[in-house]
Copies of this chain bind each other. A is one copy, B any other.
Amino acid sequence: MKSSEQRIAEGFLFTDQYQLTMAQLYYRMGLHEKQVQFDHFFRKYPDYGLHQAGYCISAGLGWLLDWMQEVTISDVELDYLRSQTDRTNQPIFGEDFLEWLRDHATFDSLTLRAIPEGRVVHAQVPLTIVKGPLAVAQILETSLLNHINYQTLVATKAARIQQSGHGQLLLEFGLRRGQEKGANAGTRAALIGGADFSSNVGISHLLGYPPKGTHAHSMVQVFLALGMSEQDAFQAYADVYPDDCLLLVDTVDTLASGVPHAIKVFEKLRKRGHEPVGIRLDSGDLAYLSVQAAKLMNEAGFRDTTIVLSSDLDELAILQITAQIIQEARQYNMDADHMLKRLSYGVGTKLITSTGEAALGGVYKLVAVQDGDKWLPAIKISENPVKTPNPGNKNIWRLYDRRGLATVDLMSLEDEDPRTMDNFTIFHPADHSKSRQIVQANISEIEPLLITALDEGRPVYESPSIEVMRDQRRRDLARLDPGVKRIINPHRYHVSLTQPLWELKQNLIKSVHQ
């Protein structure tokens, strides 16, 4: 795409056609400025096939807010909409509506509450709540989902991969396999969710994290093609980057050529007063090769050099590799724990595309409509009770048990405050038979999860730095039950409704059925 076209493709028209046709319908019916509330939530955690998430990490809000605040509607957009015709060649959009759109299509009439980025979040619980004029809140749907679904998906995957790698350094390498410029959003989300650094230069720069990398096989190939050797290539790299020397050792033969050549170069480096960083393995049996490579490096006196593993890794592959390393290390009389602690992981494709579940099914559902002074709850009944959204204006709370671990995310009506309530009963959102008694004496903390980002369009929230989001993520994960954090077959975290919200929902379902 030419950059001159980018403003059009990524601006106000970065939406689905039906948002605009519905907006015009609301305008014609005089409903366009009726106050409504939409909840954005995901119904189920990502399910990667052989493994499933028990939690997600929220991300994407900051860039959504940037988009909302920068979007304008100019003659280019209006002229294009004016030119659209139906099957009988009549204009689809009328001048009356287009005029309204020109004056009201920015998002400065909306109130947006959200769970901040970097937080542990759960299925069914709204990540974002939008309140404002019907037509404007409707038009926002597509872009809101686009911005938050994807980044939350990738932040979640990054948290899982980091966890399976025992918290060792995680590098994001996916730029070449992402969805075009959207890869930058993937890198950002990975940095929020669990990646320490990324190879992606531009976005790393903007976010303040130095980009990382080694070299490609092609560098060794160039030397070979010109009649030089792998060791010549390594030596050249060490000469140019004596204090950042990380060598890719699998171009020719990892153990017979790559590692011995790297060791020779490392020895020279050390003589000249530089400590080598280490090696990268990008093919073959990574567990076997890393134990053997470590053995060779240990024998040569390089016990603390890093071993970066890459090549189609994800959380399952890393689980397997670490398990195998522990076994193999014992077999060769090596310290397994020391082995694991010298590893770093470079993860590309499977992080940036969230392999196994490449989209988060976040939805944006109408839950309330104002009529006069009264808010009317709205509901869409589904044959599957789990798909029936929770109606009305809500607040969201996280309850921690006496150990300080999160025990339930609770949705309440907007005017309820469980911090001021005595012991109370909470209800499963879909299963009528499940309720649970909350005894305040067993609860160490009740935390409201939503912040207000936009108050009738006024920005009242400053997006924190990525580092602040990461701290939040670490704190949230530390307060999450280990069973919920399992990579495979995690425990189901509790999400509940207060009794008033539960009754509202039941009554509404009954009234629709009648």
Chain A residues packing against B (C-beta within 8 Å): 1-3, 5-22, 24-26, 28-29, 31, 34, 36, 38, 63, 66, 70, 80, 84-88, 90, 92, 134, 138, 141-142, 145-147, 149-151, 173, 175-186, 188, 199-206, 210-219, 221-222, 224-226, 236-237, 239-241, 243-244, 251-252, 277, 283-284, 349, 352-355, 358-362, 365-366, 368-369, 371, 376-383, 512
Once the chains bind, are A16 and B175 in contact (CB under 8 Å)?
yes
Q: Which residues of B contact A10 (CB under 8 A)?
A: 181, 184, 202
Instruction: Assess A244 versus B92: contact at CB under 8 Å? Given A178-B179, A366-B221.
Output: yes
Once the chains bind, are A224 and B378 in contact (CB under 8 Å)?
yes
Q: What's the least CB distance linking A88 to chain B, in Å?
A: 5
Once the chains bind, are B354 and A201 in contact (CB under 8 Å)?
no
Instruction: Assess A243 versus B86: contact at CB under 8 Å? Given A63-B180, A176-B16, A361-B349.
Output: yes
Instruction: Assess A200 versus B237: contact at CB under 8 Å? Given A87-B244, A183-B146, A365-B218.
Output: no
Instruction: Assess A21 versus B215: contact at CB under 8 Å? Given A16-B176, A202-B9.
Output: yes
Once the chains bind, are A185 and B176 in contact (CB under 8 Å)?
no
Q: What's the least CB distance linking A302 to chain B, in Å?
A: 16
Q: Which residues of B contact A88 (CB under 8 A)?
A: 243
Instruction: Assess A146 versus B134: contact at CB under 8 Å? Given A22-B216, A86-B241.
Output: no
Number of copies: 2
Q: What's the least CB distance linking A366 to chain B, in Å?
A: 4
Q: What's the least CB distance linking A146 to chain B, in Å?
A: 5
Once the chains bind, are A84 and B210 in contact (CB under 8 Å)?
yes
A205: nearest chain-B partner, CB-CB: B80
**8 pairs of A and B residues whose beta carbons are closest in the complex:** A182-B182, A179-B182, A18-B213, A13-B202, A179-B179, A353-B358, A145-B176, A180-B185
A15: nearest chain-B partner, CB-CB: B201
Once the chains bind, are A25 and B237 in contact (CB under 8 Å)?
yes
Give bound CA distance, A141 to B175, whole Å. 11
Once the chains bind, are A175 and B14 in contact (CB under 8 Å)?
yes
Q: What's the least CB distance linking A57 to chain B, in Å?
A: 17
Once the chains bind, are A1 and B184 in contact (CB under 8 Å)?
yes
Give bound CA distance, A87 to B210, whole Å. 11
A38: nearest chain-B partner, CB-CB: B218
Q: What's the least CB distance linking A373 to chain B, in Å?
A: 14
A185: nearest chain-B partner, CB-CB: B180
Q: Which residues of B contact A205 (CB under 8 A)?
A: 8, 13, 80
Give bound CA distance, A59 to B84, whole Å. 27
Once the chains bind, are A201 and B13 in contact (CB under 8 Å)?
yes
Give bound CA distance, A277 to B21, whole Å. 15
Once the chains bind, are A359 and B366 in contact (CB under 8 Å)?
no
Once the chains bind, are A201 and B20 in contact (CB under 8 Å)?
yes
A60: nearest chain-B partner, CB-CB: B180
Once the chains bind, are A380 and B217 in contact (CB under 8 Å)?
yes
A277: nearest chain-B partner, CB-CB: B87
Q: What's the least CB distance linking A128 to chain B, in Å?
A: 13
Interchain Cβ contacts under 8 Å between A and B, 27 examples = A10-B181, A16-B176, A16-B200, A17-B199, A17-B201, A18-B216, A22-B218, A22-B219, A25-B241, A87-B244, A88-B243, A92-B244, A145-B176, A145-B177, A146-B175, A149-B177, A150-B179, A150-B180, A151-B180, A217-B380, A218-B365, A221-B366, A225-B376, A225-B377, A226-B371, A349-B358, A353-B359
Q: What's the least CB distance linking A410 to chain B, in Å?
A: 25
User: Told that A15-B202, A80-B205, A180-B186 touch, could you supply 7 new A-B pairs with CB distance under 8 A?
Assistant: A14-B181, A16-B211, A17-B211, A29-B236, A138-B216, A177-B360, A217-B380
Once the chains bind, are A201 and B371 in contact (CB under 8 Å)?
no
Once the chains bind, are A378 and B184 in contact (CB under 8 Å)?
no
Give bound CA distance, A137 to B355, whole Å. 29
Once the chains bind, are B178 and A25 in contact (CB under 8 Å)?
no
Give bound CA distance, A368 to B222, whole Å. 9
Instruction: Assess A202 versus B241: contact at CB under 8 Å? Given A222-B378, A359-B177.
Output: no
Give bound CA distance, A18 to B377, whole Å. 54
Give bound CA distance, A75 to B7, whole Å. 24
Q: Which residues of B contact A178 (CB under 8 A)?
A: 146, 150, 179, 182
Once the chains bind, are B146 and A176 in contact (CB under 8 Å)?
yes
Q: Which residues of B contact A225 (CB under 8 A)?
A: 366, 368-369, 371, 376-378
Once the chains bind, are A24 and B86 in contact (CB under 8 Å)?
no
A210: nearest chain-B partner, CB-CB: B84
Q: Which residues of B contact A149 (CB under 8 A)?
A: 176-177
A217: nearest chain-B partner, CB-CB: B380
Once the chains bind, are A17 and B377 in contact (CB under 8 Å)?
no
Q: What's the least CB distance linking A279 to chain B, in Å?
A: 14
Once the chains bind, are A206 and B243 in contact (CB under 8 Å)?
no
Once the chains bind, are B21 and A366 in contact (CB under 8 Å)?
no
Once the chains bind, are B283 and A222 in contact (CB under 8 Å)?
no
